[in-house]
Amino acid sequence: MQTKAKKLSKLLSSDFAKALKGQPDPRIERLAIDSRRVTPGSLFFALPGLKADGNSFVDEAISRGAVAVVSSQPRRFRSAKVAYVTVDNPRQVLAAVSRAFYKKPDKALKLAGITGTNGKTTVAYLVKQILANLGQPYACLGTVGYDLVRRTVPSFRTTPESLDLCDLLNQARNFECKGAVMEVSSHGLSQYRVSGLKFEVAAFLNLTRDHLDYHNDMESYYAVKRRLFNGENGKLPKVAVVNVDDSYGARLVKEIPEGVSVITFGESKEANFRASSVQLSAEGTSFTLSSPYGEFEVKTSLVGDYNVSNTLAALAVCSGLGLNVDNCIRDLDSFPGIPGRMQKVDAGQAATVLVDYAHTEDALENALSMLRGVTEGKLRVVFGCGGNRDRGKRPIMTKVANSLSDEAWATSDNPRNEKIEDIFADMKQGLVDPTRVHFVSDRRRAIELALQASKAGDCLLIAGKGHESFQEYGETVVPFDDRKVALELIQNMQLGGRV
Ligand SMILES: CC(=O)N[C@H]1[C@@H](OP(=O)(O)OP(=O)(O)OC[C@H]2O[C@@H](n3ccc(=O)[nH]c3=O)[C@H](O)[C@@H]2O)O[C@H](CO)[C@@H](O)[C@@H]1O[C@H](C)C(=O)N[C@@H](C)C(=O)N[C@H](CCC(=O)O)C(=O)O
Ligand SMILES: Nc1ncnc2c1ncn2[C@@H]1O[C@H](COP(=O)(O)OP(=O)(O)OP(=O)(O)O)[C@@H](O)[C@H]1O
Ligand SMILES: N[C@H](CCC[C@H](N)C(=O)O)C(=O)O
Ligand SMILES: [Mg+2]
């Protein structure tokens, strides 16, 4: 969305404004981090990346009309056609400039940031639904989409780059949202995408293995998540909501600086928002909530133990945003589910078929253990592992799938730039009983075979892609939606008299 052009010096902090070289103080129409998206009047940020270096595209950006460049590399121009600012950390400066360009949207909006390995989308959705139910318009930004209340934009990143994020928050403010609940990924924190934003509430859900291709080890992964809570992200949150059932959460509570109010949640005795008398069934979940505001009976249509944790997190976040708990729990059990999270595929077939976004060992373990508890017959799973992502999780996910199901189909997820045979080779390292795992690279065929094996009383989990409507092969994106594919296959099989 268009926002008024601003003088470069007004967007930079005074130190950087002093370092401005070349063209004196041009008007900036637009911010850009990709030379291919530069239009006349743009301020181009040359970002050093993993695959390329933005500095190689400075000339291209200028030829497309960039009037200013921010970079970590000093450079001389023969003629002062553009303004040039050399800084130590261009990503951090990008975040500060984006915030200034879009007139500090976090000042007008209450922000709730949700971080953790698993459950961010679920908790963000729950918070958004609770707030909407109470008549409070909040935007919701994350993996499934960017919901700006009056407009929904398809999601391209769980946590968008700061220039896109501030643009979205600016739109949310223009649409008169009271605030925004957003997923904050570890990549987002590491790449300063939310740097400098003031969070009213920051929530920590859990930390289990994922993304070690990027973070190397669990300690670094944890340290990046901690930035949202300890001021390293630029500002301290007003309230921190932390899962103390999680060992990293218990540690985080001790590392949050004074001045931040902490609300803990979990099943542990010391938690401020505590669940007890948990009743799990295939239809939903109920539990007793003990909180500083009294005891409440909570009912939700979400299934599984981990959703008790997610519901507690959502209630604690809403409490941190200043809402009454007894209002928040109203109607929870009638909320629609979350797209691609334990979503039923129902064409009247005899077996239960579910699509879920479990794409880590912990999520797969939780999902399969939960389904085992509510399945009378056989439990089957179709799953795969993404290419160009954490290789180390592949054998562990296979071990979990093999151990906790009766029969599994290992297949493609998003192979990206890897060969499926190489991904399968990593996965095979985790086999426990190879007779119960079939390797079928075509995902549609794997789902078909698993459906053909499923009878009344059985349950089939199609894991890993949830709401995704594509498969990524190399640079190509092929339409593929587990929910649509499964439905179509079931209907074809019914026509052929097979189910
Ligand atoms: C691993 C990762 O996070 N990579 C991000 C990183 O890419 P990079 O460092 O490899 O960038 P690069 O391709 O080397 O390019 C460097 C710079 O040159 C620029 N460039 C490049 C080519 C060109 O012709 N012209 C040009 O200007 C690029 O725009 C970029 O600014 O910086 C890019 C620009 O800021 C991001 O778009 C990119 O996200 C990639 C696409 C990605 O897949 N990210 C995923 C892993 C991610 O962020 N996921 C999390 C969710 C994770 C979770 O589940 O928790 C998310 O928040 O979505
Ligand atoms: N609190 C939780 N603990 C463990 N597993 C969970 C939890 N919540 C959800 N899951 C599992 O993880 C999957 C992904 O959940 P969700 O999309 O809410 O997480 P996310 O953190 O947003 O994931 P991503 O990082 O990919 O955006 C679910 O489909 C479910 O199988
Ligand atoms: N947010 C996750 C999504 C992974 C989903 C899975 N389908 C895959 O492609 O591995 C990530 O960036 O790792
Ligand atoms: Mg998510």
Could you give the ipTM of this predicted complex?
A: 0.97
* CA distance from start to end of the chain: 50
Q: Does 77 share its domain with 127?
A: no
* Nearest protein Cα to ligand 1, atom 55: 185
pLDDT at 497 over 70: no
From residue 94, alpha-carbon distances to 98, 99, 119, 176, 194 in Å are 6, 9, 29, 26, 10
Domain assignment present for 220: yes
The model's confidence at residue 16, banded by pLDDT at 50, 70 and 90, is confident
- Residue 185 Cα: closest atom of ligand 3: 1
Q: Does 295 share its domain with 153?
A: yes
The ligand that comes nearest to the alpha carbon of residue 163 is: 1
Q: Give the CATH number of the domain where residue 250 resides.
A: 3.40.1190.10
Q: Give the CATH number of the domain where residue 403 resides.
A: 3.90.190.20
Is 35 annotated as contributing to ligand binding? yes
Domain assignment present for 97: no
Q: Does 161 share its domain with 292?
A: yes
The model's confidence at residue 14, banded by pLDDT at 50, 70 and 90, is confident
Q: What's the length of the chain?
A: 499
What's the CA gap between 41 and 21, in Å, rounded?
Answer: 17
Q: Does 320 share its domain with 369?
A: no
Q: Does 217 share its domain with 308?
A: yes
Is 27 annotated as contributing to ligand binding? no
pTM above 0.80, yes or no: yes
Is 290 annotated as contributing to ligand binding? no
- Residue 117 Cα: closest atom of ligand 2: 21
Lowest mean pLDDT among 102-111, 275-284, 387-396: 275-284
Q: Convert the pLDDT of each residue in 290-303 to its tens digit.
A: 999 999 999 999 99
Q: Does 53 share its domain with 138?
A: no
pLDDT at 76 over 70: yes
Residue 392 lies in domain: 343-495
Domain end marker among 269, 302, 334: 334
Q: What residues are in contact with ligand 2 under a 6 Å CB criterion?
A: 116, 118-122, 143, 158, 183, 205-206, 306, 309-310, 341, 356-358, 362-363, 366-367, 466
Beta strands in 386-469 (DSSP E): 407-412, 437-439, 459-463
Domain assignment present for 366: yes
Whether residue 20 contacts residue 11, with contact meaning beta carbons closer than 8 Å, is answered with: no
Residue 2, amino acid: Q
Domain assignment present for 437: yes
Domain assignment present for 100: no
Q: Does 120 share its domain with 51?
A: no
Q: How many domains does the chain have?
A: 3
Domain end marker among 334, 358, 379: 334
Label residue 322 exposed, middle or buried (CB < 10 Å: 0-12, 13-18, 19+): exposed
Tokens matching residue 330: 């109203």
* Nearest protein Cα to ligand 1, atom 32: 49
* Nearest protein Cα to ligand 1, atom 48: 187
Q: Does 262 share its domain with 113?
A: yes
Q: Does 42 share its domain with 167?
A: no
Q: Convert the pLDDT of each residue in 339-378 to its tens digit.
A: 999 999 999 999 999 999 999 999 999 999 999 999 999 9
Q: Does 283 share its domain with 327?
A: yes
Lowest mean pLDDT among 3-7, 139-143, 186-190, 449-453: 3-7
Q: Give the CATH number of the domain where residue 82 resides.
A: 3.40.1390.10
Q: Does 327 share its domain with 353?
A: no
Domain assignment present for 96: no
- Residue 385 Cα: closest atom of ligand 3: 10
